[in-house]
Chain A
Amino acid sequence: MLIRPRMNRLVLRTVLFALPKVMNLTASRAPAFAARLKQRDLVAWIGLQDGSIGRIVEIRGGRFRSHAGSPAEAEVAMSFKDAKTALKLLMPNRDQLEIIHAAKNFKVVTTGPDDLVVWFTQTLNMSETSGLSMGTPMPDGSLRYTTCTNGGPLFVYVKDGRILRVTPIEFDDSDPSTWVIEARGRKFSPPRRALVAPHALTMKSLVYSDKRILYPMKRVDFDPDGERNPQNRGISGYVRIDWDEALDIVAKEINRQKRVHGPGSITFPMSSHHQWGNVGYYLSSLTRFANLIGFTRVAANPDSWEGWYWGAMHHFGNSMRVGVPAGYGGVEDCLKEAEMIVFWSCDPESTNGAYAGFEGTTRRLWAKELGIEFVHIDPHCNPTAQLLGGRWFPVRPQTDAALAQAIMYVWVTEGLYDEEYVATRTTGFDEWKAYLLGETDGVPKTPEWQEAETGIPARDVRALARKWGGRKVYLAVGMTGTGFGGAGRGATGAQWARCMVMMMAMQGWGKPGINFGGLQIGVPHDLHFYFPGYADGGISGDLAWTGNAVNNYQRMPHILTMNPVKQMVPRQQLPDAIINGHATGYLWDGMAQEAQFAPFSYPMAGYSPIHMIYRYGGSSLSTVTRSGRWVDAYRHESVEFVVNQSIWMEGEAQFADIILPACTSLERWDIGEWANSGGYAHHGVNVVNHRVITLQHKCIEPLGESKSDYDIFTAILTRLGLGAVFTEGCSELDWVKRVFDSSDLPGEISWKKFCRKGYYVVPPEKPELRQPVDMRWFAEGRRKDLPEPAPMPSQYAEEFGMGLQTPSGKLEFVPEILKRNTADNPDRPPVNCYIPSWEGLSNTELKERYPLQMIATHSRYSFHTSMDGKNSAVNQVEDHRALVGGHRFWLLRLNPADAAARDIRQRDLVKIFNGRGAVICAADISPLVTPGVVKSYEASAEFQLVDVAGETVEVGGCLNILTPDRSQTRGTSSMAPNSCLVQIEKWRNAEAFKLDRAA
């Protein structure tokens, strides 16, 4: 700022003169950069827009040189408004905000063919990263890199360009100390290593899977200029093509769609997850790419939050967390105070708090050592119940709300609830009490009443209610113990989640030892240390559909992108929208409790219906309900073009016209913090024992011709002239550095050291600064003291920081919001009365044909479809897929009584079917599943329809072809996969199948 204009001009001339020399010096020191310069020759001009200063900078034969000249002589021209701007952008240690400011306001303009502009600017940036030394050399000659996965952070040992092994990160003496919790005279501290999930350890097997797609492919009977044969998608095979042909076809088709149909004809159905990392994540690169093209949004339903979003939220607010409690401080409070933990539809040993591996397991074993008692309410004596022990309540699926109401009935009639808390912190209790006692409907919700529904003896319910009522009990629900999934994903999901909140309201939620959680969340971290989560926007530039605006947009200046298409289609109804031409949905939006009530419709006036699908990966067939619809949708004549960008040949990839081979996260650069999802899971790191931020090294070169997603998007957009806008001149590693710079890391570890070591552990919070316990402030009638930016300032009932987000500011037994909005909707009554499932045992007509209830929860060994199938190491785990007749079958768990009645023996192949389809699984018979219930997992990566002896069955394990596509309740876009009646039988064609395989 102090440099005078004339001085600036002099410095700029010097910089331009010196630039080639600096570049050549870099090339002489960094072989990677020298190789880059040899990729192509290029003539560029760098100077001022008025032409008063400028110089040709040329790359020829792998060397930089420069000479006087004009922009007209150059292929690429980079021109600055004035010398001051030029210096800000050309000098080392540039301020990213200045670069973005100059670009957004056209103070710097780069012109020329887009591919050359991208190559040139990425090359200039590469001069700063190419000399970095990456990874830690090991005694055996290997290099130890780091990465992060959906199941935890890993060391990746690489030798001779091949991955040797992956191991969980173990901390050393240079890492900060670990927190200690003192409880009941004992001190507890977790192990100094990452307790990763089984699927994390499969990474190497997935990189080298024989299902990898190693080159671009075109469906053999797809001719973009002639017959497209959509009816053969999923049937006909593929032919290898080169990248140029593939990219040309995709780019031409994008332009054709825009020209012929107009905005909205292209859709990018996004999955809920991706390989870990803030740059390559779907909410980052893919969102930026899609925004630059424009697309019909496939609006996701709150699949992990169903019952909480549509139900529980209205009793207590927390819309920012999609209706689940926060869990702050839960570990210490539970260990110090709680007498019992009730796990209700909660199996953290399988669901791992989503990304936390077994980090919570240690903490639960401490609870066991302390003598805290356990109760497990689940149709399945799940792995958590198996490990911890404690009383099992084998409740019939979807009847949980009846059980909960009967417990509350006992509390009311025997005075086992916190009357003072109810009187001062809640509203509507009298109306709820009247319902429980049967004063409003003539049916007292007694333990005897619930027995016929739930299958739980009335005496056991009374015993549980008495053991629980008036005591310090933690209620662990769903994946984090503070909500999510579980029983929330059935027709009665909202009823269950609502009951959970009401039970806590009766017991004094927030008082010492009385809270939500199962030691899965609420670790004493330093949560003030800022590092963005994957949902916080990444490089997307999207302010509307990511958490970008909260921190990332200011912290990592980058160019805004937005999708100009307003048309949306609900995710669960996408196939119907394509086949029937219309669909209606309701938004998943954490801004406010009211956001969910307004419907949106497809198609929307002014926009084109969908004619092109750009799909990343292939998980829909086994994660979306009644997924057989997807097959018909993909083959529908209105869908003119399907491109699938995928790492492996699996799931929907086989329905594409063009397949683009992506590489795994171990073959590209990224950066990410373990379990830090950000967005709706604010402070999601609260599930792991150490905050571990990893550089996700590019450990090996991409296999075959596969490329990183970012490079594929860049290549396509370059053909549309958008490459420079997309990349901002950056490679993935440059973006990684920008994320690093945006966080609180630079004050703690240098970029160079981070590149070598690969991870940073955030020191734990000082004991005196640990977060308060969730809801303690509320229980004690104080101002809110939690580190979360919610509710929004406008959403407090009376005074900022006082009370909950509800209209009354209190816990509402009969929510005012529902009274206002759903009083005329019999599916969503303000008084949470028990409504039996529409596909449960009360549905007598269906029950006669399909007498068994199927529940398919998150898989224990794979993470949704990732890490399953494709010759992942977990395929060889007999409790994941059983080898029968040379094929790895998905497992179906059933009770000995149900098996005996059907003459089914252990590991027999069974056909599981209803009116929606038939799937073949291998039987796993044990008393761990209650009679009348069959238990399996959703999210098989394999979708394999086969014809055996004239019968069409699915043998990959895609159980979601059997689940209903109906929303849980009218007026919501919610899924109910655990409301699924089926019949099973010993598969009569098993021998024919085995013979086929053997042949």
Chain B
Amino acid sequence: MSKWNLIINVGRCENCHNCVIANRDEHVGNDFPGYAVPAAAVGDNPIRILRRTQGSAPMVETTYLPVMCNHCDDAPCIRRAGDAIRKRDDGIVIIDPVKSRGRKDIVRSCPYGAIVWNEEQQVPQTWFFDAHLLDQGWQQPRCQQVCPTNVFEAVKLDDAAMEKKAEKEGLKVLKPNLATKPRIWYRGLERWETCFIGGSVSAEFAGVVDCVQGAEVTLSWGSKRLARATTNNFGDFAFDGLRGDGSTYRVEVSHANGSVWRDCVLSESIYLGELRLARPGADARGGPDA
């Protein structure tokens, strides 16, 4: 039995909100009996885009994460709602627009905050994969149709094939610890979940400060050397994919013209700013990051 899954390419989302607006266009003012009553013209969006900015000028990385109903196979909302919410054979979770009337309690049952309350109609609502359109023969939901950067990829596969695909392509789900078995998969979720340490290396030559290209930079944690990098034209380096768990890391820079080091405690991404090389022989200026 093949079922619907949605893959979200994390680094591709540029926050244009076409998916959010298309979803409003589809549902505001439209009644789809058996699927959904009209959405409120003013109200929360069943598709939301979260933002994460890391670092500081000039090294800032911004990531946008579309979130919506996960169509969980073990959905907490279904456990709460009884027959007001059903799981279709194709994997899609649908809140019954009639049976769920007045059930504001359902909104709180979702650990992902993906259920919105329609005050006008007194019903809980979600992004239900545009099941009404798929049932008419559409090949993709509207979010995929309007996305300029191909963030969304709806795939219909049996569960075993999807598991295999997820493993092979490194797809992850949100809050896997809850074991809700979401059908929304994220590609490149590391960008959302991990941190970086970056900096810019410079040196003084004859009274003039310049960026240093080609400096060797190492990152270590305790005595363990974790990664190496080389600075670019702007003297910039960055180590990414780090866990922001409060550990202390050491960055050491070496170059023919000198060296420098820094310690930093990583809970959110850090741009260390300018790291000025000190001449070999002289004491390398260093110390904990502010």
Chain A residues within 8 Å of B, Cβ to Cβ: 139-140, 162, 164-168, 170, 193, 195-198, 201-202, 204-205, 208, 210, 349, 357-358, 361-362, 365, 381, 383, 386-387, 389, 391-394, 457-460, 462-464, 466-467, 860-861, 871, 873-880, 926-928, 930
Q: Give the complex CA separation of A216 and B40 in angstroms.
A: 28
Chain B residues within 8 Å of A, Cβ to Cβ: 14-18, 20-22, 24-26, 28-30, 41-45, 48-49, 51, 53, 55-62, 136-137, 142, 145-146, 148-149, 202, 209-211, 213, 233-236, 274
Among candidates B43, B213, B235, residue contacting A876 with C-beta atoms closer than 8 Å:
B43
Whether the Cβ atoms of B17 and A198 lie closer than 8 Å is yes
Chain A residue with the shortest CB-CB distance to B53: A926
| Shortest distance from the beta carbon of A930 to any chain B beta carbon, whole Å | 6
| Shortest distance from the beta carbon of B134 to any chain A beta carbon, whole Å | 13
Which of chain B's residues have a CB closer than 8 A to the CB of A201?
A: 18, 21-22, 25, 146
Whether the Cβ atoms of A392 and B58 lie closer than 8 Å is yes
Which of chain B's residues have a CB closer than 8 A to the CB of A202?
A: 21, 25
Which of chain B's residues have a CB closer than 8 A to the CB of A165?
A: 25-26, 30
10 A-B pairs with CB atoms under 8 Å apart are A167-B145, A170-B145, A204-B25, A204-B28, A208-B29, A365-B149, A381-B57, A386-B62, A463-B234, A464-B234
Whether the Cβ atoms of A358 and B16 lie closer than 8 Å is yes
Q: Give the complex CA separation of A343 and B233 in angstroms.
A: 17
Whether the Cβ atoms of B57 and A394 lie closer than 8 Å is yes
Which of chain A's residues have a CB closer than 8 A to the CB of B58?
A: 391-394, 460
Which of chain A's residues have a CB closer than 8 A to the CB of B25?
A: 165-166, 201-202, 204-205, 873
Whether the Cβ atoms of B149 and A460 lie closer than 8 Å is no
Whether the Cβ atoms of A357 and B60 lie closer than 8 Å is no
Whether the Cβ atoms of A140 and B211 lie closer than 8 Å is no
Whether the Cβ atoms of A198 and B211 lie closer than 8 Å is no
Among candidates B14, B17, B43, B202, residue contacting A877 with C-beta atoms closer than 8 Å:
B17
Whether the Cβ atoms of B22 and A205 lie closer than 8 Å is no
Whether the Cβ atoms of B236 and A391 lie closer than 8 Å is yes
| Shortest distance from the beta carbon of B198 to any chain A beta carbon, whole Å | 12
Among candidates A168, A459, A927, residue contacting B210 with C-beta atoms closer than 8 Å:
A459
Q: Give the complex CA separation of A463 and B44 in angstroms.
A: 47
| Shortest distance from the beta carbon of B15 to any chain A beta carbon, whole Å | 6
Most buried by B among A140, A381, A467, A874: A381
Whether the Cβ atoms of A873 and B56 lie closer than 8 Å is no
| Shortest distance from the beta carbon of A660 to any chain B beta carbon, whole Å | 25
Among candidates B136, B146, B211, B213, residue contacting A168 with C-beta atoms closer than 8 Å:
B146
Given A193-B145, A463-B233, A877-B21: A361 and B57 within 8 A (CB)?
A: no
Among candidates A205, A392, A457, A466, residue contacting B24 with C-beta atoms closer than 8 Å:
A205
Which of chain A's residues have a CB closer than 8 A to the CB of B61?
A: 389
Q: How many A-B residue pairs have CB under 8 A?
A: 135
Which of chain B's residues have a CB closer than 8 A to the CB of A197?
A: 16
| Shortest distance from the beta carbon of B253 to any chain A beta carbon, whole Å | 15
Which of chain A's residues have a CB closer than 8 A to the CB of B41?
A: 205, 208, 210, 871
| Shortest distance from the beta carbon of A623 to any chain B beta carbon, whole Å | 23
Given A166-B25, A205-B25: A927 and B16 within 8 A (CB)?
A: no
Chain A residue with the shortest CB-CB distance to B29: A208
Whether the Cβ atoms of B233 and A876 lie closer than 8 Å is no
Chain A residue with the shortest CB-CB distance to B213: A463
Which of chain B's residues have a CB closer than 8 A to the CB of A393?
A: 58
| Shortest distance from the beta carbon of A449 to any chain B beta carbon, whole Å | 13
Which of chain B's residues have a CB closer than 8 A to the CB of A166?
A: 25
Chain A residue with the shortest CB-CB distance to B27: A165
Whether the Cβ atoms of B209 and A458 lie closer than 8 Å is yes
Chain B residue with the shortest CB-CB distance to A458: B209
Which of chain A's residues have a CB closer than 8 A to the CB of B234?
A: 391, 460, 463-464
Which of chain A's residues have a CB closer than 8 A to the CB of B235?
A: 459, 463
Whether the Cβ atoms of A466 and B145 lie closer than 8 Å is no
Most buried by A among B43, B145, B148, B274: B148
Among candidates A362, A462, A873, residue contacting B21 with C-beta atoms closer than 8 Å:
A873
- 3 smallest A-B Cβ distances: which pairs? A358-B148, A386-B62, A195-B148
Which of chain A's residues have a CB closer than 8 A to the CB of B213?
A: 463
Q: Give the complex CA separation of A392 and B271 in angstroms.
A: 13
Q: Give the complex CA separation of A202 and B21 in angstroms.
A: 7
Whether the Cβ atoms of B211 and A459 lie closer than 8 Å is yes
Whether the Cβ atoms of A463 and B211 lie closer than 8 Å is yes
Chain A residue with the shortest CB-CB distance to B22: A201
| Shortest distance from the beta carbon of B203 to any chain A beta carbon, whole Å | 9
Whether the Cβ atoms of A874 and B17 lie closer than 8 Å is yes
Chain A residue with the shortest CB-CB distance to B55: A927
| Shortest distance from the beta carbon of A471 to any chain B beta carbon, whole Å | 11
Whether the Cβ atoms of B62 and A873 lie closer than 8 Å is no
Whether the Cβ atoms of A140 and B53 lie closer than 8 Å is no
Chain A residue with the shortest CB-CB distance to B24: A873
Among candidates B15, B59, B142, B274, residue contacting A457 with C-beta atoms closer than 8 Å:
B274
Q: Given A462-B211, A463-B211, A876-B24, 20 other A-B contacts at CB below 8 A?
A: A165-B26, A167-B145, A196-B18, A196-B146, A204-B29, A210-B41, A361-B149, A365-B149, A381-B60, A392-B57, A462-B210, A871-B41, A871-B42, A873-B21, A876-B44, A877-B20, A877-B21, A880-B17, A927-B55, A928-B62
Which of chain A's residues have a CB closer than 8 A to the CB of B16?
A: 197-198, 349, 358, 860
| Shortest distance from the beta carbon of A869 to any chain B beta carbon, whole Å | 13
Whether the Cβ atoms of B53 and A167 lie closer than 8 Å is no
Given A460-B234, A871-B42, A927-B53: A198 and B21 within 8 A (CB)?
A: yes
Whether the Cβ atoms of A383 and B148 lie closer than 8 Å is no
Given A166-B25, A876-B42: A928 and B60 within 8 A (CB)?
A: yes
Whether the Cβ atoms of B211 and A139 lie closer than 8 Å is no
Q: Give the complex CA separation of A193 and B48 in angstroms.
A: 24
Among candidates B20, B43, B136, residue contacting A139 with C-beta atoms closer than 8 Å:
B136
Given A204-B25, A460-B211: A168 and B45 within 8 A (CB)?
A: no
Whether the Cβ atoms of B148 and A927 lie closer than 8 Å is no
| Shortest distance from the beta carbon of A345 to any chain B beta carbon, whole Å | 16
Chain B residue with the shortest CB-CB distance to A924: B51
Given A165-B26, A205-B41, A874-B21: A392 and B148 within 8 A (CB)?
A: no
Most buried by A among B53, B61, B145: B53
Whether the Cβ atoms of B210 and A463 lie closer than 8 Å is yes
Chain A residue with the shortest CB-CB distance to B14: A387
Whether the Cβ atoms of A358 and B42 lie closer than 8 Å is no
Q: Give the complex CA separation of A613 and B16 in angstroms.
A: 38
| Shortest distance from the beta carbon of A329 to any chain B beta carbon, whole Å | 23
| Shortest distance from the beta carbon of B193 to any chain A beta carbon, whole Å | 18
Which of chain B's residues have a CB closer than 8 A to the CB of A208?
A: 29, 41
Whether the Cβ atoms of B30 and A164 lie closer than 8 Å is yes
| Shortest distance from the beta carbon of B276 to any chain A beta carbon, whole Å | 10
Whether the Cβ atoms of A927 and B209 lie closer than 8 Å is no
Which of chain A's residues have a CB closer than 8 A to the CB of B236?
A: 391
Whether the Cβ atoms of B146 and A362 lie closer than 8 Å is no
Q: Give the complex CA separation of A466 and B234 in angstroms.
A: 10
Q: Give the complex CA separation of A875 and B24 in angstroms.
A: 11
Which of chain A's residues have a CB closer than 8 A to the CB of B45?
A: 876-877
Among candidates A383, A463, A861, residue contacting B14 with C-beta atoms closer than 8 Å:
A383
Whether the Cβ atoms of B17 and A168 lie closer than 8 Å is no
Q: Give the complex CA separation of A697 and B108 in angstroms.
A: 44
Chain A residue with the shortest CB-CB distance to B59: A392
Q: Give the complex CA separation of A210 and B235 in angstroms.
A: 55
Q: Give the complex CA separation of A874 and B148 in angstroms.
A: 17
Which of chain A's residues have a CB closer than 8 A to the CB of B60?
A: 381, 392, 927-928
Q: Give the complex CA separation of A394 and B274 in angstroms.
A: 15
Chain B residue with the shortest CB-CB distance to A202: B21
Most buried by A among B21, B137, B211: B21
| Shortest distance from the beta carbon of B23 to any chain A beta carbon, whole Å | 9
Chain A residue with the shortest CB-CB distance to B30: A164
Chain B residue with the shortest CB-CB distance to A446: B208
Q: Give the complex CA separation of A167 and B19 in angstroms.
A: 11
Whether the Cβ atoms of B17 and A362 lie closer than 8 Å is no
| Shortest distance from the beta carbon of A191 to any chain B beta carbon, whole Å | 8
Q: Give the complex CA separation of A466 and B211 in angstroms.
A: 11
Whether the Cβ atoms of A459 and B26 lie closer than 8 Å is no
Given A202-B21, A381-B60: A361 and B146 within 8 A (CB)?
A: no
